[in-house]
Amino acid sequence: MMNNDKIDVLLVEDNPHDAEMTIRALAKVNLANKLHHVKDGVAALDFIFARGEYKERQIDNKPKIVLLDIKMPKVDGIEVLKQIKADEITRTIPVVIMTSSKEEQDIITSYNLGVNSYVVKPVDFAGFAKAVSELGFYWLITNQSAD
């Protein structure tokens, strides 16, 4: 990826199987061309805030959507969400939590921090693919973003 290429989807997912299924589902509906995948919260924050290995990236070149897992190493998804929504430059980026967690506290905390949507991952591939493609269509095609 070139540092200033426009990214539509930032996928933040540490599970390689879930990441592959998400990318495959988005590719099936032609929404994965401008996708960047990172495996932990530190890399996600570095990408979004243009620091670390992404320091050459333009911070105002924001992804159209962040698909964010909660349970991740280094920095969890709740903290990533908190930092995105606390910053004036990044708070308008739509963030969709995609997780296997149905814990009520995770859901409440996510919405209190400003998450745009909270989706519990279906277990089977067909259900997962359908959920991801519907998310992609809504957030990348239907939704009008602030930027």
Q: Does residue 62 come out as left (phi exceeding 0), alpha (psi in the -120 to 50 range) or beta? A: beta
Q: Where are the domains of the chain?
A: 9-136
Kindly report the pTM of this predicted structure: 0.88
Q: What average pLDDT does this structure show over 81-93?
A: 96
* Tokens describing residue 138: 């809504």
d(CA 125, CA 107): 23
Q: How confident is the model at residue 147 (pLDDT cuts 50, 70, 90)?
A: low
**125-133: long-range contacts, CB 8 A cutoff, minimum separation 24:** 125/21, 128/21, 128/22, 128/25, 129/21, 129/24, 129/25, 129/28, 130/25, 132/21, 132/22, 132/25, 132/26, 132/98, 133/25, 133/26, 133/28, 133/29, 133/31
The hierarchical CATH code for the domain 9-136 is 3.40.50.2300
pLDDT digit string (tens) for 15-47?
Answer: 999 999 899 989 988 888 899 999 999 999 999
Secondary structure class of 11 (helix, strand, coil)? strand
The residue that leads in pLDDT, 128 or 85, is: 85
